Chain A
Amino acid sequence: MAEQIRTKDIVAGDAPTRTPFQLFWREIRKHPGAIIGAAMLTVIILAAVFAHVVSPYDPVKPDYSVRLEPPSRDHLFGTDTMGRDVLTRIIYGGRISLWVGIISVGIAATSGIVIGLASGFFGGWTDEVLMRIMDMIMSMPSILLSLTIIFTLGEGLVNVMIAIGVASIPSYARIVRGQVLAARETAYVEAARAAGAGNITIMFRHILPNVIAPVIVMATLGLAGAILSVAALGFLGLGISPPTPEWGVIISDGRARLYDAWWIATFPGLAIMFTVLATNLLGDGLRDSLDPRLRGR
């Protein structure tokens, strides 16, 4: 593995024949899954952003004359106990899932990068202490950790983002640290250091680019996990205040009505599955195309 990195470094750092992006693009085209995933995600994002255009109904206003209607032409996914259109609520719910998902992954990734860089680079006590803290976080089941954090911080989307983000920080930190440790020993870095480059420069200009790729892969896949976590917390009734139509919340509402209104719980679950599938496809494709070892399969 170390061999591979060296070669890649030299190619990328010296006179490249193609830009990294062009290389990337050529590679990713070999992975149809990633393209499909990206397409799916685009659809979801567009639907979420243009929710008010896509659906004529109001996601929160009740209409008691059409309570609990099964799926029909007027209401593709049926209506809930307050007569609200389920499809509309799902589309608006997508906003929250995406928003919270992206931000929490952002929090986890940036914190993870900082910690990983510091840990790998400075080593010694910094490394020990930071890694122990990462271990502590990892030794609690993430849902319990998130639960406790939400309880401590209180309600609100920001707190949900923090709760979910914190639980994922260790994975990023470890990966980054691993990359730093490997890259630190390369001749390339040693050469730079011999040339007089300072620590920060080395960190940002030489090590960071190596780190970005795995982090991006992890982040895309992590988005999947984050969306599932938001739904789980919503299902438990935490962090989201009514009448916000978060997917997990809708499922939880539908749970009581499973026998007479199965559509309320079923469709949000499918929405979650669709979105998570999309991110997984994309993430897989990214990983396969960015991992040099797997090229040529």
Chain B
Amino acid sequence: MNYRSILGRGFWLLALLMVLAMAVAVAGCGGATDEPADEPTEPADDPADDDDDDDVDEPADDGPKELTIGYYREFTILDPHMSSAGLDSLALRAVFDRLVEVNSTEDGEIHPALATDWEVSEDGTVTTFNLRDDVTFHDGTPFNAEAVKFNFDRIMDPETASQSAVFGMGPYVETRVVDEFTVEVEHEYPYGPFIRTIAAGSYGMVSPTAVEELGDDFPQNPVGSGPFKFVEWVGGSHVTLEKNEDYTPVVSFNRDEAYYDEVTFRFIEENSTRAAALQTGETNAASNMAANDFVRMRDTGDFGTHVYTTLGGPPGGIQINVSKAPTDDVLVRRAIIHAVDSELVRDVVYEGIPEPSGGVLSRHDFFYNPEAGEMYDYGNMDKAHELMEEAGWIMEDDGKRYKDGEMLEIKYLTLPGVRNVAEVVEPMLTELGADVEIWALDNPMQQNTAQEGEHNLVWTQWSSNDPSAIRGRWHSENIGSGWNFYHYSNPEVDELFIEGERTTDVDERKEIYDRIQYILMDDATIVPLNNVAIMWAFDPEIKGWEPADSTGWFGFVLNLHE
């Protein structure tokens, strides 16, 4: 290779390349994504004192009060009707308000918010809401019955392709505007869950004018009536909100106005990094911490800590496929439930912080049935062995159980994120005498495999306000193409699910769901593990972490103060 003829060119090319590379790299940095810390100041506010929270010493400076939260994931979408992820909920509740609100910490009761009161017709099909008359959206549009109709219709609109809000609307017929501040919502048949589900973050009321004007760009420029206004969303980096000075407080158990003038959510996905950012002062709070980081921060004593825990739905458990051997035998299933020492799982994986699950529903849930949740003596290995023997599976010398010449094989399906739970459970099953195979697949593949029923066990978790959500899991209509990974088909339970949705009488519903829980636990369909515990750490001056919103997983940004 002879390049004598081009002496010199190579060198300059190289030098140029190097200089170019460095220059672009360095120059590009400073400008594009600014640190949120140095935002233009707003005139200093008087600290709000028309609420009854404790006031700690206010910081002496008159600058704007800013809060930076190290958040565990980037928001998916800030349009409440299109969002499906609980993680968006924290921001959605800051920018939007809903017709009703649920206080998950105290009573789990439904409180008025944008609606002052409501009543259900005799036949249960029409719910009439009386609305507040003193609320405006961030863009000045007044909040009224027309707006509510617009919102509900938008949720139902196929164009919106709503990922969660639409499912809670039930057998929706239409919304009628009665007068400026009264609406009627009609359902085909009485739909009990309705009033609870609309407290969820995905039912935030959006400004009709803004949606019409912005169309597809609305999700990037959300306009609601909540305590914070949207400022910007820098993809991959952060979301910034600013205080809504004209906010009309609508929820009695929350603050009347925000303490902070500006709130920034910085997305830091890596757990240890998020914790480190709090330690170094880059952020004031760290959300969804890993248990070991949380404990470490807690033990230093330099930080405040708070644990949120779920209310509705089985927060975390292992579903058992009742249609595939060997778990098609109820005795085997009961043995498995006894064999799994959920307390050990909680201790090893989550440092003992979460609470035990109630089986089908969380122990904090309004509809929880203790008889069902405490049916088994979890972690009792002896009982487990006993049940297996009774079922005809005999332990051989190789440590495995056999019946009719077949070895006890269990296939355990899990998600990559909770691999460690599987790793702790697996030896317990091995001790029971099973040959365990673990598959860690992502969500869609998990669903696919589980739908085909190739598994015996599958890890699961979800959240919801209303127990009707468990229908999606246990109703036989969802076998093979939905989320009924149990492949459970029990006509009595199916009937009960339908009944539970059709009545709006709370006592009736309680009875129904009590019975459902009892049957499902008696049939040993799920191995209860633990309530999901969401752990936060923060600068010690920051308060206001309770109450929790209707997911039970987050508080309200509105309530945070120093």
**Pair A237/B290 contact, Cβ less than 8 Å:** no
Within 8 A of B (CB), among A167-194: none
Quote the shortest CB–CB distance from B147 to chain A (angstroms).
43
A140 to B416, CA, bound (A): 25
Does B126 sit within 8 A of A, measured CB to CB?
Answer: no
Does A110 sit within 8 A of B, measured CB to CB?
Answer: no
Subset of 25 A-B contacts with CB under 8 Å: A60-B427, A64-B348, A67-B348, A81-B348, A82-B348, A151-B442, A154-B441, A155-B439, A237-B416, A237-B417, A237-B440, A238-B416, A241-B437, A242-B438, A243-B422, A243-B438, A253-B420, A255-B270, A256-B271, A256-B290, A257-B292, A258-B272, A259-B275, A259-B293, A260-B296
**Pair B292/A64 contact, Cβ less than 8 Å:** no
A155 to B426, CA, bound (A): 18
Q: Which residue of A lies closest to B430 (CB)?
A: A61
Residues of A within 8 A of B275 (CB): 259
Binary CB contact string for chain B from 422 to 452 against chain A (1 if under 8 A, 0 otherwise): 1110110000000001111110010000000
Does A20 sit within 8 A of B, measured CB to CB?
Answer: no
**Pair B439/A237 contact, Cβ less than 8 Å:** no
Selected contact of A82 from candidates B296, B416, B424, B442, CB within 8 Å: B424
Residues of B within 8 A of A62 (CB): 423-424, 427
A28 to B438, CA, bound (A): 46
Quote the shortest CB–CB distance from B106 to chain A (angstroms).
34
Whether A241 touches B439, Cβ cut-off 8 Å, given contacts A81-B420, A257-B292, is: yes
Within 8 A of B (CB), among A255-280: 255-260
**Pair B272/A243 contact, Cβ less than 8 Å:** no
Q: Which residue of A lies closest to B436 (CB)?
A: A243
Residues of A within 8 A of B348 (CB): 64, 67, 81-82
Residues of A within 8 A of B417 (CB): 237
Does B419 sit within 8 A of A, measured CB to CB?
Answer: yes
Residues of A within 8 A of B426 (CB): 242-243
Within 8 A of A (CB), among B428-485: 437-442, 445
A82 to B423, CA, bound (A): 9
How many residues of chain A get a CB closer than 8 Å to chain B's CBs? Answer: 22
Residues of B within 8 A of A238 (CB): 416
Quote the shortest CB–CB distance from A81 to chain B (angstroms).
7
Q: Which residue of B lies closest to A61 (CB)?
A: B427
Q: Which residue of B lies closest to A155 (CB)?
A: B439
Does B344 sit within 8 A of A, measured CB to CB?
Answer: yes
Binary CB contact string for chain A from 28 to 68 against chain B (1 if under 8 A, 0 otherwise): 00000000000000000000000000000000111010010
**What is the interface of chain B, defined by CB distance below 8 A to chain A?**
270-272, 275, 290, 292-293, 296, 344, 348, 414, 416-417, 419-420, 422-424, 426-427, 437-442, 445
Quote the shortest CB–CB distance from B400 to chain A (angstroms).
15
Whether A259 touches B296, Cβ cut-off 8 Å, given contacts A64-B348, A237-B440, is: yes
Q: Which residue of A lies closest to B415 (CB)?
A: A237
Binary CB contact string for chain A from 235 to 251 against chain B (1 if under 8 A, 0 otherwise): 00110011100000000
* Main DSSP-derived SS at the A contact region: loop
**What is the interface of chain A, defined by CB distance below 8 A to chain B?**
60-62, 64, 67, 81-82, 151, 154-155, 237-238, 241-243, 253, 255-260
A155 to B422, CA, bound (A): 16
Given contacts A237-B419, A237-B440, 14 further A-B contacts (CB under 8 A): A60-B427, A151-B445, A155-B440, A237-B416, A238-B416, A242-B419, A242-B422, A242-B426, A242-B440, A243-B423, A256-B290, A257-B292, A259-B272, A260-B296
A154 to B271, CA, bound (A): 27
Q: Which residue of B lies closest to A62 (CB)?
A: B427
A274 to B209, CA, bound (A): 64
Residues of B within 8 A of A257 (CB): 292
Selected contact of B441 from candidates A82, A155, A243, A260, CB within 8 Å: A155
Quote the shortest CB–CB distance from A37 to chain B (angstroms).
29
Quote the shortest CB–CB distance from A92 to chain B (angstroms).
15
A258 to B419, CA, bound (A): 18
**Pair A241/B424 contact, Cβ less than 8 Å:** no
Quote the shortest CB–CB distance from A286 to chain B (angstroms).
23
Quote the shortest CB–CB distance from B1 to chain A (angstroms).
10
Q: Which residue of A lies closest to B414 (CB)?
A: A242
Whether A255 touches B272, Cβ cut-off 8 Å, given contacts A237-B419, A237-B440, A242-B426, is: yes
Residues of B within 8 A of A242 (CB): 414, 419, 422-423, 426, 438, 440
Nearest first, the 6 A-B pairs at minimum CB distance are: A237-B416, A242-B419, A243-B423, A242-B438, A241-B438, A242-B423
Residues of B within 8 A of A241 (CB): 437-440
Residues of A within 8 A of B442 (CB): 151
Residues of A within 8 A of B441 (CB): 154-155
A238 to B424, CA, bound (A): 19
Residues of A within 8 A of B420 (CB): 81, 253
A237 to B271, CA, bound (A): 16
Q: Which residue of A lies closest to B419 (CB)?
A: A242
Quote the shortest CB–CB distance from B263 to chain A (angstroms).
27
**Pair A260/B445 contact, Cβ less than 8 Å:** no
A151 to B416, CA, bound (A): 13
Q: Which residue of B lies closest to A68 (CB)?
A: B292
A64 to B348, CA, bound (A): 8
A71 to B414, CA, bound (A): 31
